[in-house]
Amino acid sequence: MPTNTVSAARCTIKLITPSSSSASTKPTKTACQEYSQQSITDPITGAFKEIVTIESKQSSRFQISFQVHHTAYDLLERTKPSRSSRSTATGKPLKSSDYVVDFFLDGISIGGGYHQHHTQTARRHTISAFPSSNITARPLQFAPLHLVDPDDYPQDLTGVESPAEQVCQDEEIIRSLGTIEVKITRCELSLKERRSNRKRIRLRPTSNDMMFSESIKKARLSSTAGLGQPTFYERENDRISYRVRCQDPNPFLHFIFKYKPRSVLIAEGILPPPIIPPELAVEGASTSTKPDRKSSSPENRITIESGPESEKEESRVIKKERREKETSCKKEDDNEKLNCRSGRKNDGKKRGTGGERNGQIDQKPRRVSPQTDRKPELTTRTTQDIKPSKPMFIDLTL
């Protein structure tokens, strides 16, 4: 939480998450993580400013808590260089003061509260909603930024009552988008008389109820901070009311929260980028990235493929099986050829031996002429058959 080191005044914003289980009805409150804290002094008003950056959550409710000691104003005044050293060295006791606390969401004042010094201990005050009537209240809430084309909406605002029907042209609001401010001003309070008939409280429309031109995309914002829809609210009857008798023109303490979405905080270097586990990175690369066919480097293949060693081993086994199959096929072919040749020889031997065993001996041995194995000479026969006969002449004379 941003804390003023001199006065120990502090302020914080907590996100309110509704309870998910039916057993517990209390919502969960989580303090916003704060980044880039700065402590500066306004050169014009002399106010002490505490500036921090927080992460915004769309459609999330939030609350503002602050704690200011009743001597904070006097402590801060004594540290200013304009004060003479004589006044600080006298050792005078610190003075107590009353305060008025004003809240601004995107530059729009939504109301405030009072802090009287009737107690010596500083109490923590929390604001989560502002009353819109005697029985309803509107909670503090983030909402999506509503961007529109200004040409689609009338520029003449006469007769237009609802802010939802017009585009915001207020430069102060546009310039203050993305900020939540808490201003604390010294004042004098007095008790206010209670009235039985209370008038209906009217709140000014917030940035959640407005539309903005697409050309004002300031700092890549995606949400606004304002008031949500009215809900039932029970007002405390014994609540004390105050009246401001006098007030300083400028606040002496100013808390500023600059809210931005997580993507913008990462882009600006305020938040570190998310760390992706190596397992998810490898799975994403194997599913979404295809290997480069042109690249022949083994390192590139290893980074893309999920298991290079196992695939190499599988390819070796497949090649080995193919070689074994080829060699076995060749051996089978050779065996078949050898079997065929040996079978023919065995058949011849079996025929000869079988005849002798059966006692069937040829009584008339065949003549074996030397020319039985010769092939007939077809050339001689063909020439005789083809040779034409001699012509015959018949004498027809009488």
Mean pLDDT, to the nearest integer, of 218-245? 78
82 or 372, which is more confident: 82
pLDDT at 253 over 80: yes
CA 238/CA 361 separation, integer angstroms: 146
Mean pLDDT, to the nearest integer, of 355-372? 49
Coil, strand, or helix at residue 89? helix
CA 153/CA 151 separation, integer angstroms: 6
Q: How confident is the model at residue 361 (pLDDT cuts 50, 70, 90)?
A: very low
**What six digits make up the tokens of 261?**
């979405």
The whole-model pTM stands at: 0.65
Q: Residue type at 197?
A: N
Q: For residue 300, what pLDDT is reported?
A: 41
CA 15/CA 223 separation, integer angstroms: 15
pLDDT at 141 over 90: yes
What is the tens place of the pLDDT at every residue in 85-116? Answer: 545 545 688 888 999 999 999 999 998 888 87
pLDDT at 295 over 70: no
Summary mean pLDDT of the chain: 74
What is the tens place of the pLDDT at every residue in 170-191? Answer: 889 999 999 999 999 999 888 8
For 283-316, b/e burial (b = at least 16 CB within 10 A) is eeeeeeeeeeeeeeeeeeeeebeeeeeeeeeeee
Angle value at C-alpha 302, between 299 and 306, nearest 5 degrees: 170
Q: For residue 293, what pLDDT is reported?
A: 47
150 or 247, which is more confident: 247
pLDDT at 256 over 90: yes
What percent of the chain clears pLDDT 90, i.e. is strictly above it?
Answer: 23
Question: Domain coordinates of the chain in residue numbers?
Answer: 10-19+26-81+94-154+162-267, 276-309
What is the tens place of the pLDDT at every residue in 119-130? Answer: 666 778 899 998
**What six digits make up the tokens of 232?**
């039932």
What is the tens place of the pLDDT at every residue in 303-328? Answer: 444 455 555 566 676 777 777 877 77
Mean pLDDT, to the nearest integer, of 360-372? 50
Of the listed ranges 43-47, 246-250, 258-262, 315-319, the least confidently predicted one is: 315-319
Coil, strand, or helix at residue 378? helix
Mean pLDDT, to the nearest integer, of 336-348? 58
66 or 290, which is more confident: 66
Q: For residue 263, what pLDDT is reported?
A: 87
pLDDT at 360 over 50: no
Q: For residue 304, what pLDDT is reported?
A: 41
6 or 65, which is more confident: 65
CA 181/CA 221 separation, integer angstroms: 17
Contacts of 99 (CB under 8 A, 6+ apart): 68, 73, 114, 115, 184, 185, 186, 187
**What six digits make up the tokens of 368?**
């074996």
pLDDT at 47 over 80: yes
Q: For residue 203, what pLDDT is reported?
A: 67
Q: For residue 303, what pLDDT is reported?
A: 40
CA 112/CA 354 separation, integer angstroms: 130
Q: For residue 254, what pLDDT is reported?
A: 95
Q: For residue 53, what pLDDT is reported?
A: 94
The residue assigned the tokens 């397992």 is: 279
Q: For residue 314, what pLDDT is reported?
A: 62
Q: Are residues 120 and 191 in contact, defined by beta-carbon separation less than 8 angstroms?
A: no
Measure Cα distances from 138 to 36, 170, 235 in Å.
Answer: 30, 23, 13
Mean pLDDT, to the nearest integer, of 235-253? 80
Q: How confident is the model at residue 283 (pLDDT cuts 50, 70, 90)?
A: low
Q: For residue 58, what pLDDT is reported?
A: 81
What percent of the chain clears pLDDT 70, i.e. is strictly above it?
Answer: 60
Q: Are residues 3 and 69 in contact, defined by beta-carbon separation less than 8 angstroms?
A: no
Q: For residue 139, what pLDDT is reported?
A: 93
Q: How confident is the model at residue 383 (pLDDT cuts 50, 70, 90)?
A: very low
Mean pLDDT, to the nearest integer, of 209-229? 83
